[in-house]
Amino acid sequence: MSAGKLENLSAGEINKYVYCPLQWYYTRVYGEAELRARYRELHPERHGENPHFRRGRDFHGKYAKREAARRVWRGLLAAAALIVCVLVCYYVFRQRG
């Protein structure tokens, strides 16, 4: 991406960004071939195996756990807000009647 030049993003690229912003960024800046070459230079002993599986599984496993915890907290917060609303409505209507 050059400065001053806007490029359209496809739905697939947006999906890749949502899945893993760092991976999308580095792929966009360096390109996949360059990233693979750099990895081979850094880890010549792992040249035959796919380097992204272990780190990717670890990263996305932690990400999935964080997202699950956030969903639980959002659900608890929504339930608490609902209970507060019901109690407020109950006391307001009780005062009127």
Q: What pLDDT, on a 0 to 100 scale, did the predictor assign at position 50?
A: 65
Q: Give 6-60 pLDDT, tens digit per residue.
A: 577 788 888 888 888 888 888 889 888 888 888 778 877 665 556 667 777 788 8
What is the dihedral angle through the alpha carbons of 28, 32, 36, 39, rounded to the nearest 10 degrees? 10
C-alpha angle 27/57/53, rounded to 5°?
60
Structure tokens at 86: 């019901």
Flag whether the pTM goes above 0.75: no
Torsion sign across C-alpha atoms 23, 56, 18, 15: positive
